[in-house]
């Protein structure tokens, strides 16, 4: 997901998206562990997306105080 698109979302939307991405990351890790993962690059993409979301949440919560 693009950072520009993420910046337009509210804190609630980012939190929901973070939960969704963390669940997706869990599923990808389990698929990798069982040898069923076909697209191994998706693990890294999901990890980077989670980092982007967490960074934006920190920025938005810091500005609100």
For the stretch 13-64, pLDDT in tens is 999 999 999 999 999 999 999 999 999 999 999 999 999 999 999 999 886 5
CB-CB contact of 18 with 50 (8 Å): yes
pLDDT of residue 1: 73
pLDDT of residue 64: 57
**Domains (range + CATH), the chain:** 3-58 (1.10.287)
19 contact partners, CB below 8 Å, separation of at least 6: none
Measured distance CA(53)–CA(11) in Å, rounded:
10
pLDDT at 65 over 60: no
């Amino acid at each position: 997901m693009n950072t520009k698109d993420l910046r337009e979302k509210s804190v609630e939307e980012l939190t929901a998206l973070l939960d969704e991405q963390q669940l997706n990351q869990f599923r990808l890790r389990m698929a990798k562990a069982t040898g069923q993962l076909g697209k191994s690059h998706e693990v890294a993409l999901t990890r980077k997306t989670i980092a982007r979301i967490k960074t934006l949440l920190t920025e938005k919560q810091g500005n609100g105080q």
